Every structure is written in C-alpha cells, then in structure tokens.
Amino acid sequence: MADEWIMERYALAKERIGEIISEREVQKPYLDFFCKTAVFLQFVTDVLEKDCHTMTLKELEEQNQKLYEDILPGNYETSYGNPAYAEKMLGEYGKEFCFLYAELRGTIAFAFEKKWWDVTVALELFLEIYSAFDSEEVPPVRILRDILKSYVNDYCQEMEEQRIREAVDPDLDFAVRIIEESDLTDLRYLYYYGEYITDNERKTAEFLNTLPQEQIDAMARTYTEGYRIGFVNGRKDLSRKKTVNIRYPLGFERMVKAAVSQFAEMGLKPVIFRYAVHAVNKKNQNRIGFVGTSANPQYDYDHRQDCALFLDSDFVKRKLRSMQNAYERYKDLAGLHGGPACIETFGEVPFSPENKPEAWRLLEAQQKLMVELNNESGQIVNRYIKGEERSFTIIAYPLPEIGEIYPDIFREIVKINTLDYHLYETIQQKIIETLDTGEWVEIRGKGQNETDLRIHLHTLEDRTKQTNFENCVADVNIPVGEVFTSPVLTGTCGILHVSKVYLNGLQFQDLKLVFEDGRVTDYSCHNFETEEENRRYIEENILFHHEKLPMGEFAIGTNTTAYVAAEKYGIAEKLPILIAEKMGPHFAVGDTCYSWAEDISVYNPDGREIIARDNEVSILRREDISSAYYSCHTDITIPYEELGSIRVLVGDGTAVSIIENGRFVLPGTEELNRPFEETSGK
C-alpha cells in the first residue's frame, strides 16, 4: 500500500471523479469527453482496489475487454484516442484532449501494478482540466496546453527515476512474481498483467503447455546460452554482473520461467519491466519490455509523437538532468546490470499505418531537439551501464496469428534456432577469407530490384591477424547465419532497393535509399499517394529525423534454411528482422555494429581480430561524442530472390563471386544451397 498522504489524495480524487459522472455543468461538446473519461477512470480505480487473483476466467476476460474496447479497431472511429475524432468533436482543443486521453489510459497498467501514486497524479490531472472547463467561459487552448505541460515537467523527475529503477532493480518484481507464483496451466494468470489479451497470448500459452519440460528447457537454454556466449565471445566478464533484463511477449511464461532458473545458475537475477506508459518515457510507438498484443497498432502510431506537445529545450534539459540524477542514485545497481535478453514474436497481420494530419507531429526544431535528447541520453546510459561491459541476446518465435499451421511453423523456427553453428562457422569463415582479399564489394539486384551498391572495406595490414568481418554464430543474434562488418563510408555509394520490407513493425513498399560516401542522401517509397508523405514516413521511421544517416553495417546472411522455410509457409513478409537479416545481404543505417564499444577488441573463433569497428562518424567520439552516435540501427535485407550478385573486387581488379543469381557459388559454400535443392527436388 502507498504512503498515507498519497492515499488521502487518491481518495479525494476518486470521490470527485464519481461526482463528475452525473454533473452537467460543463458545456457541450466537452461534456461528453469528461463524462466518458470519468466512467473509465472510475472503472480503473475499481481494478486498482480489487484482487484479480480471486476472479474467475470469465470475469477477467470481461474486465480486459471493457478496459480496451474503446480503442479496438471496431470502435476507434468514435474514440477520443483517435486524433481525427477528437478534433472533429472538440475542434481546436482536439489535440490536447487526445493527448490527455492517451496519458490517462496508462492508468490501466498502474492499476494492475498497484502504483497508487501514478494513478493519483493522473486522476488529479484530469480533475485540474475538468475544473478549467467547469465554468461559463471555456478556457483558451493555451491554458489546457499549459496544464498538460506543467504535469509533464512537474513529474518528470519522479517518472524518469521510476523508469530507470525498473530497468536495473530486481526487487521490482511484479512480472517475476506472476511467472514464479502462478499455475501456468491456469490461463487466468495472463490477465494479471493488465495487458490486452488475445488469442495470440492464450494459444501461445496453451501450445507451450503441450510441450514436455525437456523441450521447454532446451528452448530456454538456446536463449540463455546465447546470452552467456555473447559475453564469452566479446571477452567480457559475466561474473561481474548480477542482473539480466528479460523482455518477452505474454504467453511465453513457461519458457521464461525456465530461463530465470538457468540465468540464476549464472548468478543473474531477472529484471522485468513493462514498456513505457508515461508520455515522459515513451519513444515513438516502440514497446520495449514485457508486452501483450497491441489493442490497435493505429492507436499506437497516432500517439507516437505526442511529446510534440511539450518537447522544448527546457524539457530536454530537465529530462537529461532527471536521468543523470536517477542513474547516480542507482549507479551500483546499474553497474551490475548485464544487458537485455529478448524474446521477440512475429506473425501478426502486417500493419501499414494511416498518417493523420490531426495527430501530434514534431516540428523541425523539435526533431533536432529529439536527436539531441537521444544522443545525450545514450551517453548517460553508457556511463552507468558501460557498453564494453554489457551484452545481449535476441530470439524470435511465431504467434498463433500466423495461421492454422502455427504448431508446424513454431517447430520449424525451433529447428532454425538450433542449427549446427559449427557447420555455419566453418562455411562463413570461407566467405570471410574471400571478403578479406579485397577492399570493395559490389552488390546488385536482379529483375525489378534496382540495388547497385559498392561497399568500401577497411584496409587490413596483416590478414593473418586481422579481419573485417565478424563470424556470427548463434550467440547474441539467434538464429545463426551472417558475416558482418562496419564499412568505410568514404566511397561507399549506390542504391539500396527492396520491393517490400517490414521495419520496426511497419511496412515499406518499394523502398529506395541512395548512398553517397556512406550517407543516405535521398530516399523514397510508395506507401502513400504523395512524395511528401512517403519521404516523411522514411524520415520518421528510418532516419529518425536525422538529415543523413550513415551505413553502419554491411552483412551477408547465410541462413538459407530459414529462407526456404519462409517460402514454404508463405511467411517471408511476416518474419522479424532478426531472422530476415540472415536471409540475404542486409545493410543497417545508423550506428555501427559496435556502437559504444568500438575500443574493445573483438575476435573471431579463428583468433583474428575484427578491426572494422569504427567508421568516419563513430570515430568522432574521440573529439565530440555528441556527433558520433544516432541511437538507431535499422537493418534492411535484400531477399535472395531479388539478389543478382555479391562480388569481391580483389587487388588485381578481378571480381570473385560469392553469390550469383541468388545462390552461393564460392567454393566451400555449396552446403548453403542444399535447402534450395531439397525444396526444388533436385
């Protein structure tokens, strides 16, 4: 239970909200917003005060539906969470009320986690705005905006400190207790989180419950061993770490429970937190933490830039100061943190968003402030959770939404995640040895694919001790299957083109990026009717408001087994980048592969040091660290079917082919074509 002074404030706020439901003093059209929102908040307080563990499954399902029904796609056209509807009904006040609505919906999470303070300040915010309208004269928009900005600024320190503590303190164990204390065969536990629950969560849990414990343990071991090996291969001391951040989708609790036990064998306690809910801490539409299926991806997209309401130089200074203070307070915990271990999912119906002019959107000056905020906050995090000391791992599985043959696809992905990494290590080493003979690599598309790129590699002074490419086996990026490098920017140029790709959950059609000296200088796609909309879409979701992003990575994916499986089941467009990047050459825009840890020596299994850890941008950290990092790294893959060739240009001017017409032709790599041959029957 919260402190007495919070409980007193909460009781007063709850009582007043109960009165608002029947009051009619506020003018139309604002009355409808206040009455409906008061009813919602009253329901949330009921949830806060009850013990959901005593409820039946049917009661929990009905409660979950009621909490989220207003923003579900079928109801969204008449929801105040929809910026178009909010502006239609509330005119010039629409954006502010829509922001308020989204912030108040965060109380759902706080009610389940019993965060009385967070619920209380949200109720008080609602009441303050109601009071401003509870008079004969409607306040000007600036008054409403000032109230909202004051709320953000007044509570920035508390909200930021809470978020940072959640990321490093294992004593905040809300999710851990659900995993460890629940009967995972009783699916009521899914509703204890407060997330929207769909067939994805229910059927995933049901399917995992059909698997023997030995298989669950093996799945978890692939994941936890990937994390451990990441430290070993990076020559980092895992024994100095005491916590690991586990990120997972609901429904995977059996696997996570096994992983918690296996991490404990390594001396690590789990840190598990929900994705950010407060506007202060949100980052676009990204949901980082434990997650359920989004109730409505369009709602998330519509509110991705709500910070435009309050983002100014004063807020940037305040947030950075709050971060610094919070990390200083929890510096001991931060120093013991090892990094994230992530379980991702795929298989949802592809989402292509609608751009709504009524939604909040960052102005040009705010975009620059956001870049500054991301750069500076990245530096603060790295001072306390040092890049050279931490690692990570990521693994992905399908969701039931992928189709009726979900169990077959799931088993296929388990197979892909556990391929013989020794075999791939040997084959990939042959590719690396060839790549290391040249300073340039040419990549060309075929058919309608217009890719025509020339990649500049670093000069090796001693090929017996140095290499440009990392031999990536199944450690931090599961599954196995790529060799990658951070290219030299000068001279790297050309066009990168893919017919369709999904990046960060968003679809891009006919995406083209033009590179000059390794920087993106032009770009286009065909998602929307106008060139302006298409360019803005790329600027917001790939460039992240940077004028020119560098090519931070060039890689060749070798996992043809995954590629053939994707074609067999018709799921290529639904695969996450984690798997898709192993299914052809890929190129990342943003930071290098070794961001924040470029000065740490990295070695391949053959003992050679990977020297291509810097480029002309990242090296600027030695003079001005704010110019060296972009806080983004987006991989874009050319599928084999769109790939014409990958050729290394060696010293005498000749070209050595690694791939021709989408197939590996380099001697020693023939095994990679076997999945293609088995599928075709040859």
Q: Let me know if residue 406 belongs to a domain.
A: no
Q: Count CA within 13 A, CB hemisphere, residue 575.
A: 29
The answer on 193 and 95 residing in a single domain is: no
Q: Does the pLDDT value for residue 274 go beyond 50? A: yes
Token output for 664: 């590996």
The answer on 346 and 292 residing in a single domain is: yes
Question: pLDDT per residue over 43-85, tens digit each?
Answer: 999 999 999 999 999 999 999 999 999 999 999 999 999 999 9
Please report the pLDDT score of residue 668 as a whole number: 96
Question: pLDDT per residue over 648-669, tens digit each?
Answer: 998 777 999 999 999 999 999 9
Strand pairing partners for 470? 484
Please report the pLDDT score of residue 608 as a whole number: 94
Q: Let me know if residue 512 belongs to a domain.
A: yes
Please report the pLDDT score of residue 475 as a whole number: 72
Give the C-alpha distances (Å, rounded to integers) separating 448 from 52, 498, 586.
55, 9, 18
Q: Does the pLDDT value for residue 409 go beyond 60? A: yes
Q: Count CA within 13 A, CB hemisphere, residue 230.
A: 25
The answer on 636 and 518 residing in a single domain is: yes
Boundary of a domain, candidates 124, 139, 154 = 139
Q: Which of 112-126, 149-163, 288-302, 466-480 has the lowest mean pLDDT?
A: 466-480
Please report the pLDDT score of residue 680 as a whole number: 59
**Average pLDDT of the residues in 243-260:** 98
Q: Which of 60-74, 84-98, 162-176, 560-574 has the lowest mean pLDDT?
A: 560-574
Q: Which of 311, 247, 301, 302 is nearest to 280 (CA)?
A: 311
- Please report, as a single letter, which amino acid is at residue 11: A
Strand pairing partners for 482? 472, 557
- Please report, as a single letter, which amino acid is at residue 373: L
Quote the CA–CA distance of 247 and 256 in Å, as a whole number: 9
Q: Does the pLDDT value for residue 187 go beyond 60? A: yes
The answer on 436 and 363 residing in a single domain is: no
Question: pLDDT per residue over 109-142, tens digit each?
Answer: 999 999 999 999 999 999 999 999 988 789 999 9
Q: Let me know if residue 169 belongs to a domain.
A: no
Q: Let me know if residue 574 belongs to a domain.
A: yes
Q: Does the pLDDT value for residue 354 go beyond 50? A: yes
The answer on 134 and 268 residing in a single domain is: no
Quote the CA–CA distance of 413 and 566 in Å, as a whole number: 10
Task: Put the strands of the sheet holding 633-637 in their side by side order.
Answer: 470-472, 482-485, 551-557, 585-590, 633-637
**Average pLDDT of the residues in 476-501:** 94
The answer on 181 and 102 residing in a single domain is: no
What residues contact residue 581 under an 8 Å CB cut-off, 6+ apart?
477, 482, 555, 557, 635, 637
Q: Are 305 and 360 in contact (CB under 8 A)?
A: yes
Strand pairing partners for 657? 647
Token output for 55: 């409820």
Other Cβ atoms less than 10 A from the Cβ of 251: the count is 28
| Average predicted confidence (pLDDT) for the chain | 94
Please report the pLDDT score of residue 505 as a whole number: 75
The answer on 600 and 478 residing in a single domain is: yes
The answer on 431 and 297 residing in a single domain is: no
Q: Are 473 and 421 in contact (CB under 8 A)?
A: yes
- Please report, as a single letter, which amino acid is at residue 316: V
Confidence band for 682, pLDDT divided at 50, 70 and 90? very low
Quote the CA–CA distance of 489 and 455 in Å, as a whole number: 8
The answer on 355 and 423 residing in a single domain is: no
Please report the pLDDT score of residue 65 as a whole number: 98
Question: pLDDT per residue over 79-115, tens digit each?
Answer: 999 999 999 999 999 999 999 999 999 999 999 999 9
Angle between helices 4-20 and 30-49 (to 10 degrees): 140
The answer on 446 and 494 residing in a single domain is: yes
Q: Let me know if residue 217 belongs to a domain.
A: yes
**Average pLDDT of the residues in 526-549:** 93
Q: Let me know if residue 671 belongs to a domain.
A: yes
The answer on 212 and 122 residing in a single domain is: no
Q: Does the pLDDT value for residue 338 go beyond 60? A: yes
Scanning 189-252, the segments in alpha helix (DSSP H) are 199-208, 213-233
Q: Are 467 and 608 in contact (CB under 8 A)?
A: yes
Q: Let me know if residue 299 belongs to a domain.
A: yes
The answer on 440 and 369 residing in a single domain is: no
Q: Which of 511, 571, 506 is nearest to 541 (CA)?
A: 506
Q: Which of 145-159, 245-259, 316-330, 557-571 has the lowest mean pLDDT?
A: 557-571
Q: Domain count of the chain?
A: 3
Q: What percentage of the chain carries pLDDT values higher than 90?
A: 82
Give the range of the structural domain holding residue 294, as residue numbers without chain letter.
174-384
Q: Let me know if residue 637 belongs to a domain.
A: yes
Q: Is 607 left (phi over 0), alpha (psi -120 to 50) or beta?
A: left
Boundary of a domain, candidates 384, 406, 439 = 384
Please report the pLDDT score of residue 1 as a whole number: 61
**Average pLDDT of the residues in 171-200:** 98
**Average pLDDT of the residues in 471-477:** 79
Q: Does the pLDDT value for residue 474 go beyond 70? A: no
